Amino acid sequence: MRTVGVEEELLLVSPETGEPQAVAGAVLAAQDADGDGARLAPELQREQLETTTRPKLQMSDLAAELRRWRGVASERAREAGADVVALATSPLPVAPSVSAGRRYHRLVEEFGLTAQEQLTCGCHVHVQVASDEEGVAVLDRIRPWLPVLLALSANSPFWQGRDSEHSSYRNRVWGRWPSAGPVETFGSAERYHAEVRALLETGTLLDEGMIYFDARLSRNYPTVEVRVADVCIEVDDTVLLAAMVRGLVETAVRAWQADEPPTPVTVGLLRLATWRAARSGASGRLVHPATWQPAPAEEVGEALVDHVADALTDADDLLLVKDNLRRLMSRGGGAGFQRATFAGTGDLRAVVREAMVRTLA
């Protein structure tokens, strides 16, 4: 069974007002790394930080690890007069402040407002693969399903104090980067690495860390890294996402080993499906990867479960995924929860406060 690790980006906010707080430096100065890769790390803006789990085989262990590191991040943040919340954008207005470090400031110099306004929080799922060839075979075969993962994780309806009318406005903001979004099929590890080299040789990207594909080969681990998702408010939703990604990876490898070709879908169609997923989230209609026609989000989510059912069954994850998916759909995902909270209170600060509670539940 393949190991899974998760990176979560979290907002640092005032416990009283819910406004983002630029205290990442103080939080990170107080951290205790545990010696084997699980840690807190800086991000582009001082109003956020990143947690990294160790790789796990069992979803129950991954859930415990996620809760552990959210708790550590919260404890460190409180020492700096703030707290953490798993929201993919700030509901309240904010003027982000860039973290210390030459690379972060070069990003602002090169990309202007794209970097300056980029206070967004994603969730990156790493799944073990045996080689770059296997990894690229996975990347080629999971492309149609990445917009569905975005829809299920969508958790950023508010931007600068107003409803964006999108469920994942983070995805729209993130899409401003020149290398972000869906990509074509590669066919081999050699062609994947050639594409990365060609992008770098244009002189547009600072380094390989700016290969912001929706899914890519990890630079640091023997994994496929799926990066399309918003950070999720609830740990159970993150675990659902991780289980589905592992199911997609295993299903793709089995198809590759059986000489089944990738689905021949264009980047243009994938971009449209991604836009639709960012707009609708776990409510409304999505583009169905089997028909490329509109279909209710619940139906498309169930189609994803069916697509990876054998892999989920073999990992003993099928019942967990079905249960977590049912509960996510019942509240409309993170975006639905945020909008329902705002509808009941009329107060974006209440949205942040309620999300803080669920972040650590």
pLDDT score, position 310? 98
Beta strands (DSSP E) in 3-56 are 4-13, 39-42, 48-52
pLDDT score, position 32? 60
Chain mean position to CA 245: 11
CATH fold of the domain at 4-359 = Creatine Kinase; Chain A, domain 2 (3.30.590)
| Tens-binned pLDDT, residue by residue, of the chain (361 aa) | 999 999 999 999 999 999 999 999 999 987 665 555 558 999 999 999 999 999 999 999 999 999 999 999 999 999 999 999 999 999 999 999 999 999 999 999 999 999 999 999 999 999 999 999 999 999 999 999 999 999 999 999 999 999 999 999 999 999 999 999 999 999 999 999 999 999 999 999 999 999 999 999 999 999 999 999 999 999 999 999 999 999 999 999 999 999 999 999 999 999 999 999 999 999 999 999 999 999 999 999 999 999 999 999 999 999 999 999 999 999 999 999 999 999 999 999 999 999 999 999 8
Q: If you count DSSP H runs as helices and E runs as strands, how many of each does the chain have, helices first?
A: 15, 11
Query: What is the spatial distance between Cα 99 and Cα 55, in angstroms, rounded to a whole number?
Result: 28
Q: Which residues contact 78 (CB under 8 A, 6 or more apart)?
A: 15
Q: Residues 323, 232: contact at Cβ < 8 Å?
A: no
Q: Residues 329, 301: contact at Cβ < 8 Å?
A: yes
Among candidates 111, 113, 287, which has minimal Cα distance to 212? 111
pLDDT score, position 30? 75
pLDDT score, position 34? 53
Q: Which residues contact 151 (CB under 8 A, 6 or more apart)?
A: 167, 168, 277, 278, 280, 281, 282, 286, 297, 300, 301, 333
pLDDT score, position 39? 82
Kindly report the number of other CB atoms within 10 A of residue 275's CB atom: 19
Domain ranges of the chain: 4-359
SS3 content of the chain, % helix, strand, coil (to 5): 50, 15, 35
Among candidates 349, 320, 351, 129, which has minimal Cα distance to 239? 320
Q: Residues 206, 287: contact at Cβ < 8 Å?
A: no
Query: What is the spatial distance between Cα 15 and Cα 62, in angstroms, rounded to a whole number?
Result: 27
